[in-house]
């Protein structure tokens, strides 16, 4: 009787912690949707670069970048509006990606524009920053797979530094798929696993 | 649970809904009234009464704000509330330990 009272109190604590964990799980949509968007944009730009008129390459590149940033911001706001709980991992995740997002804009747009390095070298630094972002994300959500996806970005960065030919397009595609869409799918699977018992 | 141990347990934390609320808030920065209502399965009025008790005791802080155009009530645990919750857990642990050693002595 006495023991059951204590056990009841402990089960309340356990149940609440579980419910909070489910509520604070990351959906991964922030990577999946922009990742697919980015993948399509890179393929399209690569095709234009190889076969199409060079004059439209820059305007299409700018449109693709702006719409990619727009999609990411839209999903981040939409996910934020649905949140009922502010957890420390979510706060860390948001701050990490704000820092990485600013660094990405600087390394891929501002520095090449200022002539710090040629435009075709921007993926080298961009990929380094994204690698840090995914390494941190993996640590926050305790996923070794996401942490390992950071290596894809760092290897991609190295390959982009030495490769200047058409193989860059394949490197881009591989890195976006395994380094961007794949971590999103891992997070989404974690989210579904956590929410599944809640729905039944 | 021995009577003196029950007396030592913080009566503010001891109520199931208040214990549930503190269990949620101790793991997060803040939680909305809606989430606490869903998690504890309490009614609006009942939860409100318990939150007010916790706030009066200085265990939680309640902030009324807006998310877009919708009103939003955010609750977060204070340092005093965190300490009270951890003390409560320690007391539960010591009760369990006491019961285990009593049980072992009886078996011997």
Is the pLDDT at A55 greater than 70? The verdict is: yes
Of B1, B28, B96, the CB nearest to A86: B28
Percent of chain A's residues with pLDDT above 70: 96
Q: Which residues pair with B50 in a beta bridge?
A: none
Question: By C-alpha distance, which of A160, A161, A190, A189 is closest to A173?
Answer: A160
Is the pLDDT at A90 greater than 50? The verdict is: yes
**Cα–Cα distance for residue pair A187/A150, rounded to 1 Å:** 15
Cβ within 8 Å, pair B99-A3: yes
Cβ within 8 Å, pair A81-B34: no
Cβ within 8 Å, pair A17-B27: yes
Amino acid A154: pLDDT? 96
Mean pLDDT, all residues of chain A: 87
Is the pLDDT at A142 greater than 90? The verdict is: no
Question: By C-alpha distance, which of A187, A175, A123, A122 is closest to A149?
Answer: A175
Cβ within 8 Å, pair B99-A84: no
Shortest CA distance from B40: residue in chain A: A16
Cβ(A30)–Cβ(A181) below 8 Å: no
Chain A positions touching B16 (Cβ under 8 A) are 9, 12
Cβ(B89)–Cβ(B13) below 8 Å: no
Reported confidence tier of residue A46, pLDDT bands at 50, 70, 90: confident
Cβ(B33)–Cβ(B50) below 8 Å: no
Length of chain B equals: 108
**Cα–Cα distance for residue pair B22/B10, rounded to 1 Å:** 13
Most A-contacting residue of B26, B30, B39 (CB-CB within 10 A), to test interface: B39
Amino acid B67: pLDDT? 81
Question: By C-alpha distance, which of A67, A68, A90, A69 is closest to A79?
Answer: A90
Q: Is A79 on the interface with B (CB under 8 A)?
A: no
CA distance B72 to chain A (A): 10
Cβ within 8 Å, pair B19-A19: no
Would you give per-residue pLDDT tens digits along chain B (108 residues)? 555 555 578 889 989 999 999 999 998 999 999 999 999 999 999 999 999 999 999 999 999 988 878 889 999 999 999 999 999 998 888 888 877 777 677 766
Amino acid A200: pLDDT? 38
Strands A85-87 and B28-32: antiparallel
Chain A stretch 88-107, residues whose beta carbon is closer than 8 A to a beta carbon of chain B: 88, 91
Cβ within 8 Å, pair A86-B16: no
Query: ipTM value of the model?
Result: 0.82
Is the pLDDT at A79 greater than 90? The verdict is: no
Instruction: Kindly state the average pLDDT of the residues A148-155.
Output: 94
Of A2, A17, A84, the CB nearest to B99: A2
β-sheet with B28-32: strand ranges across: A85-87, B28-32, B70-77, B60-67
Instruction: Kindly state the average pLDDT of the residues A105-132.
Output: 91
Instruction: Kindly state the average pLDDT of the residues A168-178.
Output: 91
More confident position, A148 or A49: A148
Is the pLDDT at A199 greater than 50? The verdict is: no
Is the pLDDT at A198 greater than 70? The verdict is: no
Of A17, A81, A86, the CB nearest to B23: A17
Q: Is A16 on the interface with B (CB under 8 A)?
A: yes
The answer to pTM > 0.80 is: no
């Amino acid at each position: 009787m006495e023991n059951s009272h204590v056990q009841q109190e402990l089960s309340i604590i356990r149940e609440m912690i579980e419910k909070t964990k489910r509520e604070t799980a990351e959906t991964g949509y922030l990577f999946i949707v922009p990742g697919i968007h980015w993948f399509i944009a890179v393929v399209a730009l690569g095709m234009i670069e190889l076969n199409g008129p060079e004059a439209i390459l820059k305007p299409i590149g700018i449109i693709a970048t702006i719409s990619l940033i727009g999609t990411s911001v839209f999903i981040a706001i939409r996910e934020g509006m649905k949140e009922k709980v502010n957890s420390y991992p979510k706060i860390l995740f948001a701050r990490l990606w704000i820092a990485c997002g600013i660094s990405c804009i600087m390394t891929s747009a501002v520095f090449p524009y200022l002539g710090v390095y040629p435009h075709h070298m921007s993926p080298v630094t961009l990929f380094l920053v994204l690698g840090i972002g995914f390494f941190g994300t993996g640590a926050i959500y305790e996923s070794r797979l996401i942490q390992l996806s950071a290596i894809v970005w760092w290897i991609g960065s190295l390959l982009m530094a030495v490769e200047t030919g058409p193989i860059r397009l394949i490197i881009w595609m591989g890195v976006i798929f395994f380094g961007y869409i794949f971590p999103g799918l891992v997070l989404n699977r974690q989210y579904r696993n956590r929410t599944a018992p809640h729905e039944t | 649970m021995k009577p003196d141990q029950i007396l030592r347990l913080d009566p503010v934390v001891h109520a199931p809904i208040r214990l549930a609320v503190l269990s949620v808030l101790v793991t997060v920065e803040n939680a909305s009234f809606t989430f606490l209502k869903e998690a504890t399965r309490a009614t609006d009025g009942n939860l409100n009464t318990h939150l007010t008790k916790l706030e009066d005791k200085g265990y939680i802080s309640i902030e009324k704000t807006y998310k877009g155009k919708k009103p939003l009530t955010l609750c977060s645990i204070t340092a005093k509330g965190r300490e009270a919750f951890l003390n409560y857990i320690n007391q539960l642990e010591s009760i369990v330990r006491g019961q285990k050693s009593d049980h072992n002595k009886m078996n011997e």
